[in-house]
Amino acid sequence: MPTEEQVREALATVNDPEIDKPITELGMVDEIAIEGSRVGVKIKLTIPGCPLKDRITTDVTDAVVRLDGVDDVQVVFGSMTDQERQQLSADLRAERGAANPDMEIPFAAADSDTKVLAIASGKGGVGKSSVTVNLAAALAQQGHNVGVLDADIWGYSIPRMLGVSGKPVAFEGMVMPLQAHGCKVISIGFFTDPDRSVIWRGPMLHRALQQFLGDVHWGDLDFLLCDLPPGTGDIAISLAQMLPNADKVVVTTPQQAAQKVALRAGKATEQTGMKVAGVIENMAGFTDPETGRTHDIFGAGGGEELAEALETDLLGRIPIDPALREASDAGVPLVVSHPDVPASVAISQIAKDLAARSRSIVGRSLPVTMG
């Protein structure tokens, strides 16, 4: 017959799916009852009617049933008292620093350990969002804690590309991000009717971005990837103001027209204080599987020319692969569904190179100028 200590040790391996911390650490384990080979566990939910009860039941059962002598596990639920929720909220806020009780943006601090990458493009249609989700998934596969912020408020596509849906739970003034493929995700798409347009102007966009960065409980992230809308509008300016430590990654195609437009997006960093971490050339040639010949459908050399003009590195060239589009529509990143194809290999290598770099900006002031 297992001991209560052994059961608690098993439960310590179970994370709350929203907060992503052990349920024992969060004070969610209320009671443990042991009768022969049967174990009963009462879990206190952070909020009544938690939508992830089934997930918690499965995880708790799987963890406890592995103990020697356990044949049956029964999970029942209660909920935390208001006082317990407030204490848990205070503890979670305290993790973000005693000087940050008001949920200010943790990534803006000069000593933040999170590398923020703003994924930008000069124009739409170059594959910026698909590059973002695949880079995020690749970084997660490599063992990093990754968050994805869908900052393209008008044209959000991250939820579909990552195959994640639902409404994030609000807990004592904090929003718990959804998760997919090892990444924490937040998007305006989780809060709006998918068939209605988001028609917002500057102040509303700024506030939404501020809430996504400050009110979401991201936890300890190694990387936060922000999928920006194309161009250099309000959101790009607001992000630069809020996250002066962020680096920009510019996505372009080999096409000269795309490269010229992307140059303007990259040059915008001269006014915002960001640094361009590098250029990614997407859609860099198609190799015919029957003949082995590579066709430069969108031209050649645009990524290299852009990197040279921005005085930065060409991080990599991602070849055209119809499976990349299919994977995005299916909600499974290509690096997950087809990890060995050339496009996935290129993306994974870019992720490794970015992870190997030290954070390039520490405490840089932000000389934003408004024309």
- Domain parsing of the chain, residue ranges: 4-80, 106-356
Alpha-carbon distance of 7 to 5, in angstroms, equals 5
- Residue 260 pLDDT: 60
Average pLDDT over residues 239-252: 83
CA-to-CA dists, residue 20 to 56, 177, 208, 217, angstroms: 12, 10, 24, 10
106-356 placed in CATH 3.40.449.10: no
127: confidence class by pLDDT, cuts 50, 70, 90: confident
- Residue 319 pLDDT: 92
Alpha-carbon distance of 265 to 269, in angstroms, equals 8
CATH classification (class only), 4-80: alpha beta
Q: Is the pLDDT at 34 greater than 90, yes or no?
A: yes
% of the chain beyond a pLDDT of 90:
37
Q: What are phi and psi of 355, to 5 degrees?
A: -70, -30
- Residue 366 pLDDT: 39
Burial of 170 per CB tally in 10 Å (0-12, 13-18, 19+): exposed
192: confidence class by pLDDT, cuts 50, 70, 90: confident
- The answer to whether residues 122 and 264 touch, using CB atoms and an 8 Å cutoff, is yes
- Residue 23 pLDDT: 92
- Residue 38 pLDDT: 93
User: Which of 21-25, 117-121, 151-155, 264-268 is predicted least confidently?
Assistant: 264-268
Which pLDDT tens digit goes with each residue over 326-338?
998 899 999 999 9
- The answer to whether residues 16 and 23 touch, using CB atoms and an 8 Å cutoff, is yes
Instruction: Give which of 11, 16, 81 is closest to 48, Cα–Cα.
Output: 81
The Cβ of residue 51 has, within 10 Å, a number of other Cβ atoms equal to 12
- The answer to whether residues 211 and 203 touch, using CB atoms and an 8 Å cutoff, is no
Q: Is the pLDDT at 359 greater than 80, yes or no?
A: no
Most confident region among 41-50, 80-89, 322-331 by mean pLDDT: 322-331
- Residue 46 pLDDT: 82
- Residue 259 pLDDT: 60
Instruction: Give which of 267, 128, 151, 165 is closest to 207, Cα–Cα.
Output: 151
